[in-house]
Amino acid sequence: MSKNFYKFSFCFFALSSIIRLDAQSVEEPAKAKFSTLAWDQTIKGLYYWDDEERINLNIPNGAPSPTFEAPIDKPLVFYRDTGQIDEAGNPIGNPLVSINIDRADDPLLLIFFKRNDQTDSYYIAPIVNETQTTPEEIYQLYNISSHDIVAKFNDQKIALEPNKPLIIPAPGTDQASFGVMMAIQMDSQENGEWQLVYKAFWPYRQGRSSLVFISDQEGRKNQIKVRRFYVPTREL
């Protein structure tokens, strides 16, 4: 067998190895996992692109949506069809809102807020959804109001500063419900008066965690609005 044949075989083997290594080094971009929630009312008829695949979705209002995926190497844009088509016959979408997701480690909850009551104008607040990362029953609390808040969950006393999330274990109880009270500081001064503004009984739901959001009551000074969403705890 000639030397040229051996040289050709060696070169072919080396070239094939390089091609295989190059193919292995080209990895797909990491993808983020996220669910969605509409703060005001359900948002219907949206879609986004996962590479070349169109993903249709509605943004629910009563509880977080199922989990979706999207690559993190480009902005995540949500569209609505305009009813028009381009020259190639493809539907033309109107981009409504976008967000840059730069992490793929923790599942996110994307909360859609309507912007100044304008039609189809939104902004997105992303939060790490800890309820999807632990098998424990937890309450993930977000004080998005303008007030400092002290609260009592069953027998547990907590303090909630504005724009600082807090995670607490689900109240230990063998009852069907437990009491929740919240007070706000009327004055920003350290010795300002505290006023009770919320009192209710919440149902205890075994096997479920809760996302709790506390916001200012629109049009009512020194009042708060409390919204909670129950989600199944993660099974490991």
Report pLDDT digits (tens) over 208-232. Answer: 899 999 998 877 788 999 999 888 8
Q: What percent of the chain has pLDDT over 70?
A: 84
Distance between CA atoms of 34 and 65, rounded to whole angstroms?
9
Whole-model pTM: value is 0.74
Clarify whether residues 46 and 81 are in a common domain.
yes
d(CA 6, CA 98): 57
**Residues 148 and 225 occupy one common structural domain:** yes
Over residues 59-82, mean pLDDT: 92
Tens digit of each residue's pLDDT (9 = 90 or more) over 43-66: 999 999 998 899 999 999 988 899
Q: How far is CA 203 from the centre of its chain?
A: 24
Q: Is residue 199 part of a domain?
A: yes
Residues 6 or more apart whose CB falls under 8 angstroms from that of 86 comprise: 92
16 belongs to a structural domain:
no
Three-state SS for 105? coil
Q: Count of alpha carbons within 13 Å of 186, Cβ hemisphere only?
A: 6
Task: With a cut of 90, say whether residue 27 has pLDDT above it.
Answer: no
Do both 159 and 228 map to the same domain?
A: yes
Q: In this structure, are 83 and 152 located in the same domain? A: no
23 pLDDT higher than 70: no
**If you ran DSSP here, which 8-state letter would residue 183 be given?**
E
pLDDT of res. 188: 57
Of the residues 94, 111, 128, the one at which a domain ends: 128
All residues at 6 or more sequence positions from 159 whose CB lies less than 8 Å from its CB, including other chains: 148, 149, 150, 151
User: CB–CB of 216/151 below 8 Å?
Assistant: no
Print the domain residue range for 146.
131-232
pLDDT > 60? residue 26 = no
pLDDT at 230: 87
Query: Do 113 and 198 fall within a single domain?
Result: no
| Residue 21 maps to a domain | no
Is residue 150 a part of any domain in this protein?
Answer: yes
Residue 88 has pLDDT above 80, yes or no: yes
* The two three-digit tokens of residue 235, written as one number: 């099974």
Residue 156, domain member (yes or no): yes
What is the rounded distance in angstroms from the CA atom of residue 149 to the CA atom of residue 157? Answer: 11
In this prediction, residues 182-190 reach a mean pLDDT of 75
Dihedral of alpha carbons 142, 144, 149, 153, sign: negative
Tell me what pLDDT residue 25 has.
47
- Say yes or no: 149 and 209 in one domain: yes
Average pLDDT, rounded, for the chain:
83
For residue 102, tell me if it sits in a domain. yes
Q: How many domains does the chain have?
A: 2
What angle (nearest 5°) sits at the alpha carbon of residue 30, between those of residues 29 and 36?
120
Query: Residue 99 is part of a domain; what is its CATH number?
Result: 2.60.40
pLDDT, mean of residues 195-201: 94
Report the C-alpha gap between 222 and 236 in whole angstroms: 42
Instruction: Find the mean pLDDT for residues 69-94.
Output: 90
Domain boundary among 79, 113, 128: 128
Give yes or no: residues 66 and 117 share one domain: yes
Q: Residues 120, 162: one domain?
A: no
3-class secondary-structure state, position 19? helix
